[in-house]
Structure 1
Amino acid sequence: MNRKNKWIIYGIGLSLLLGGCMNMDNANGNGVDEQKEPSKEMEKQLVSVQNYKGEGYTLPNGEEMDKIAEDNKDEVESAVKSFFKENYKTDIKVHNIVGNEDGATVFVESIGRLHYYTYAIVPIDIDTKKIHGDKVFSEEGQVEDGIKGGLYRLIFQEQFDKLDSYFKDLVSEGEVVGKTEESLQNVGGTGYMTPYYFISTFNNDESIKPVFDIFVKNPEADIEELKSAYVEGSFSPENLLINVRLFMEDKDASPSEEIFKRVANDLERIEGIPKGSYSLYLNDNKVYKDSFTGEKENSLSRGHGNYIVKN
């Protein structure tokens, strides 16, 4: 297979694994996902979301590369830090290295006022065990999406603070929880993320583009300059997805219809939270440790075709 095409296919597969399968929204709106019941083998991968920190996460055919990358950890980390500094003027912290079929996927977190999680890929020659630090790359648009999501969070701080407060209050009641911070760090990689949601942006979002252009040229640009560059009149809710992922706190509980409806109604009702399209998943207590996904047959969802839209 052509190497370039191979990486494209790999990238698509990784995108589906990361961030709780963001493209699995139920096209029918509210209700149960139309997914196959987990096999006994899959059930062995299930672990309580409160206990999951990224252990057991794997990528296809990555066992041998994982060992090579671990043996050359310092070289891999150095190459990835240089990649982000040179291409995005961004300092990053490396949290986790996971072998893939042709190298290592390195999960990182940005350092500084703009916050997001993402990943880069370091090619490795399996025969010579050579780390190709000069050929580090990221999946097309992945880092850019993280930057744009972080910029939305930065320039609409008050609105996102209100959304965060809502989820913290909800969780304090003791019925639902989010993902652990450690899991976001080690296997998140999906841009701006909190334990309760992650942001997705799109290339055709003309409202944030001028802000992005200024920031990538000058990451120290004044916040007022960034806010002024935002084009409010070009904003469309469909270009900013806020993907809510909640879990039952009780380890044996099934997703609660009552809680699901309450959260959906709250998001529709509350004023002053970020504009955009909200998807909502309420899962049971477990995630698959090899893929970091929580969506299952019994998950309750509202998404594609029936987003909660805030204008």
Structure 2
Amino acid sequence: MGKKRIILVLMSILIVIGGCTMNKKDEATKEEKKNDNAEIVSVQDYTGEGFHGEYNQTTDRIVKRNYEELELIANEYMQENFKTDVEITSYIPLENIAVVLFKTKKEPVIHSSFYVMVDHKDRSLIHQFNAHEGEVEQSIVSGLYHYAYEEEFNKFNEKIEELKDKYPVVSLTEEAHEKTYISMYREKNYYISMSSLSVPSVLDFYKETNEVISKEEVRTMFELIESSEEISKGIVIRLYMKEAGTHSDKKLLNNLIDDMSKFSFLLKGSYTINLMSNDVLKKSGHGVENEDLSIIFENKEEK
């Protein structure tokens, strides 16, 4: 009987320990799910918070304290390389680094970004303009392309708005769009990807011009280039599922493609619709799930 009692006691202890272990595992699993969910949000609720990474309060305080130097870093670089002044539109304070969004003061307005290293020990900024290779240049030429063909792109955007009225899809909120606009020409509904290497004369013209650039000047330059060779560029329509929790829908994407293909668009390029889930990743602004297909315009008289 003594042995049986000992065995029963030991079994009871093991059950209690096992129960505690399971409870801890359950709590850990719940915490992991909570952390995962914290990184995901419905597109309608996405404000751009968490874009590029986790907010760092120390970096934020240092940048605010040295804001004039931040503006100086941006303007020194842009004046030296592109003869233009810029203003900071916002910044993203991360650990030991700040991603800085800016726009040019002269027309056409070009949006782009750079980053600065932040010294937490000295509570200062490292006085150096850093950017991914070609990123600022890409922002300039894609912005100039949109500027030159603004009327055509306005009609293009109107067509996308019609799709949003007809189908259960939405775009980023204005706030999220502004806070995640780091490179290339972007609207809420689409963006233009174009390498400066394909239009070096346009970039050189921008670098050498101090005055306001007219649409006619830029358009003439693009038309001259495309009369002899095709400029490599992509226009991507970016839409999200409207209903909360819905995944990207291939059938809906096909309907969007069919509808969009009937639109008469005159500009050469590769066109794609990227349809994303309603849930987005805060770090990138992309959907948790994505589907994309190319658009072939049926009535296309290319320029």
Q: Which position in structure 1 is the counterpart of 2:124?
A: 130
Higher relative contact order at CA 8 Å, sep ≥6: structure 1 or structure 2? 1
Match of 2:102 in 1: 108
Taking the aligned partners of 1:109 and 1:165, their CA distance within structure 2 comes to: 25
CA contact (8 A) 1:117 1:184 kept: no
Deviations 1:149-205 (A, max 9, x none): 011111122321221111122223362111122222212202210111111112441
Pick aligned residue for 1:280 from 268, 273, 294: 273
Distance in 2 of aligned mates of 1:58 and 1:264: 30
Report the TM-score when normalising by structure 1. Answer: 0.74
> In structure 2, what is the Cα distance between the partners aligned to 1:216 and 1:278?
29
Gaps of 5+ in 1: 1-38
Output the amino acid matched with 2:291: L
In 1, distance between residues paired with 2:265 and 2:188? 21
**AA paired with 1:141?**
G
Matched letter for residue 215 of structure 2: I
How do 1:1-311 and structure 2 match up within 5 A? Answer: 40=33, 41-59=35-53, 64-133=58-127, 135-173=128-166, 175-205=168-198, 208-218=199-209, 219-230=211-222, 231-236=225-230, 239-294=232-287, 296-297=288-289, 299-302=290-293, 308=296
- CA 1:92–1:267 in 2, change beyond 3 Å: closer, same or farther? farther
Identity %: 26
Structure 2 length normalisation: TM-score? 0.76
The amino acid that maps onto 1:224 is E
Alpha-carbon distance in structure 2 between the residues aligned to 1:146 and 1:97: 17
1:93-150: CA deviations, max 9, x gaps? 32322234543211223344324432112233333222233x2232211111011101
Change (3 A) 1:92 1:273: farther
SS of residue in 2 equivalent to 1:106: strand
Amino acid at match of 1:177: V
Q: Which has the higher helix share?
A: 2
Q: Kindly tell me: are residues 138 and 234 of structure 1, through their superposed partners in 2, closer, same or farther at Cα, counting changes over 3 Å?
A: farther
Task: Give the distance between the partners of 2:90 and 2:218, measured in 1 at CA.
Answer: 32
Distance (Å, rounded) in 2 between the aligned partners of 1:42 and 1:116: 35
RMSD: 2.7
Secondary structure of residue in 2 paired with 1:144: helix
- Contact 1:68 1:129 (C-alpha < 8 Å) held by counterparts: yes
* Residue of structure 2 in register with 1:22 after alignment: none
Q: Which letter maps to 2:272?
A: S
Distance 1:248 1:61, change over 3 A: closer
Change (3 A) 1:93 1:171: farther
Instruction: Give ranges in structure 2 of 5+ residues lacking alignment.
Output: 1-31
* 1:280 CA displacement: 2.0
Q: Which structure has the bigger radius of gyration?
A: 2
Secondary structure of 1:154's counterpart equals helix
Amino acid at match of 2:286: T
Structure 2 residue identity aligned to 1:269: K
Question: For residues 273 and 201 of structure 1, what CA distance do their matches in structure 2 show?
Answer: 17
C-alpha distance 101-307 of structure 1, shift in aligned 2 (>3 A): farther
Counterpart secondary structure, 1:265: helix
Q: How many residue pairs were aligned?
A: 264
